[in-house]
Amino acid sequence: MIDYEYLKPASLDEVFDLMKKHGSKAELVAGGTDVMVFIKQGNHSPEVLISLRGLTDLCYIQKNSAYHIGALATHRMLEQSQLVKEELTALQQGSSQVGSIQVRNMGTLGGNICNAAPSADTAAPLLVLDAVAVLQSPEGQRRVPIEEFFIGPSETVKKNDEVLVEIEIPSEMGRFKTAYCKHARRQAMTLPIIGVSVGILLEKDVIADARIALTVAAPTPIRVRQAEDFLKGKPFEEGVLKEAGEIASSPECCMPRDSLRCEGWYREEMVRILIPRVAMAAVEE
Ligand SMILES: Cc1cc2nc3c(=O)[nH]c(=O)nc-3n(C[C@H](O)[C@H](O)[C@H](O)COP(=O)(O)OP(=O)(O)OC[C@H]3O[C@@H](n4cnc5c(N)ncnc54)[C@H](O)[C@@H]3O)c2cc1C
């Protein structure tokens, strides 16, 4: 491990002052479950770690005119929240599959999103839920739809002087039935081979609106709008859902790569198979 100075400011203003003072020598840390691994592996070597853990007012899950989740809410909080389980089910399912309980106790929603791994377990649920990332800098706040937040593996639109303070989800998303499936080689402590999240808004037995998002199917988490558009107005039937899976797994929609964990063709095949299953699971839930 390299030596670094660890600073734990108590307010966002102090965080901004420290970020300005230490510039590129500093790195923000929330739960540290990504950052500390990178430091230990020698991939990151910050001279200063600015901890966000003193910002306890960024650790909340609330619902009023929208759903508001503080960037420091941990995966364990999301996993255990009855509100998230009942109304934002896919997100509860994503967070509850991150690592182990120990990792979920430390790891935050904000860290998962800012780390921007193509396999992040909350990314597809947040895309399905039309989430908005609220970024704050000394100049003020800006809001970025989560679909525009990821620009490449480990790359986001967040600027160096910005802190992610909140994830906001429009209240109407609570009317959707949503689910997330992490398809992996084993049940525990592994990254997904493919992640599939589906949201369905049913009116009687007709699909009034739909959302489909994938992780590890492209360099960033993606929405699959062709398949969503196909579903809208159709009856909620197995044949229709299977057709949506065919569309989503076509080369026009997803471009999964070969990797050590699995080859691209298998990922495509799992997208095709999982979309109808996840849609069914969402509605049955
Ligand atoms: C054993 C193990 C298993 C894991 N399994 C999974 C898994 O199954 N699925 C999965 O998705 N992930 C997994 N992870 C990765 C990790 O736990 C998650 O990505 C977690 O959500 C990161 O959150 P954190 O608070 O620990 O982030 P940190 O490590 O503190 O930070 C991650 C990055 O985000 C930045 N950052 C954090 N918070 C903010 C903020 N509010 N504003 C601006 N920048 C910020 C940091 O500067 C850093 O670049 C695993 C990690 C470990 C060690």
| Rounded distance between C-alpha atoms, residue 176 and residue 160, angstroms | 35
Please, what is the Cα angle at 217 between 44 and 133, to 5 degrees?
60
Range in 23-32, 177-186, 208-217, 274-283 with the lowest mean pLDDT:
177-186
Using a 6 Å cutoff on CB, does residue 50 contact ligand 1? no
Percent of the chain with pLDDT over 90: 88
pLDDT at position 1:
66
Using a 6 Å cutoff on CB, does residue 32 contact ligand 1? yes
Answer for the pair 254, 217: CB distance below 8 angstroms, yes or no: yes
Read off the pLDDT of each residue in 195-212 and give the average, rounded to a whole number.
97
Q: Is 160 left (phi over 0), alpha (psi -120 to 50) or beta?
A: alpha
Domain 5-51, CATH: 3.30.43.10
pLDDT band at 285 (very low <50, low <70, confident <90, very high): confident
Q: What's the 29 CA to ligand 1 centre distance in angstroms?
A: 9
Q: Which of 177, 25, 12 is nearest to 86 (CA)?
A: 177
- Tens digits of per-residue pLDDT, 251-268? 998 888 888 878 999 999
| Rounded distance between C-alpha atoms, residue 165 and residue 282, angstroms | 29
Both tokens assigned to 204: 């009687």
Using a 6 Å cutoff on CB, does residue 94 contact ligand 1? no
- Whose tokens are 């790569």? That residue is 257
- Tens digits of per-residue pLDDT, 152-182? 999 999 999 999 999 999 999 999 999 999 9
What fold is seen in the domain 59-172?
3.30.465
Using a 6 Å cutoff on CB, does residue 166 contact ligand 1? no
Question: Could you tell me which residue, 3 or 83, shows the higher pLDDT?
Answer: 83
pLDDT band at 68 (very low <50, low <70, confident <90, very high): very high
Q: Which atom of ligand 1 is nearest to the CA of 75?
A: 21
Using a 6 Å cutoff on CB, does residue 103 contact ligand 1? yes
Using a 6 Å cutoff on CB, does residue 111 contact ligand 1? yes
SS (H, E, C) the chain: CCCCEEECCCCHHHHHHHHHHHHHHEEEECCCCCHHHHHHHCCCCCCEEEECCCCHHHCCEEECCEEEEECCCEHHHHHHCHHHHHHCHHHHHHHCCCCCHHHHHHCEHHHHHHHCCCCCCCHHHHHHCCCEEEEEECCEEEEEEHHHHEEECCEECCCCCCEEEEEEEEHHHHHCEEEEEEECCCCCCCCCCEEEEEEEEEECCEEEEEEEEEECCCCCCEECHHHHHHHCCCECCHHHHHHHHHHHCCCCCCCCCCCCCCCHHHHHHHHHHHHHHHHHHHHHC
Rg, Å, the chain Cα set: 19
Both tokens assigned to 261: 């964990």
pLDDT band at 282 (very low <50, low <70, confident <90, very high): very high
Q: What's the 30 CA to ligand 1 centre distance in angstroms?
A: 8
Domain ranges of the chain: 5-51, 59-172, 176-284
CATH architecture of 176-284: 2-Layer Sandwich (3.30)
pLDDT at position 257:
86
Answer for the pair 67, 171: CB distance below 8 angstroms, yes or no: yes
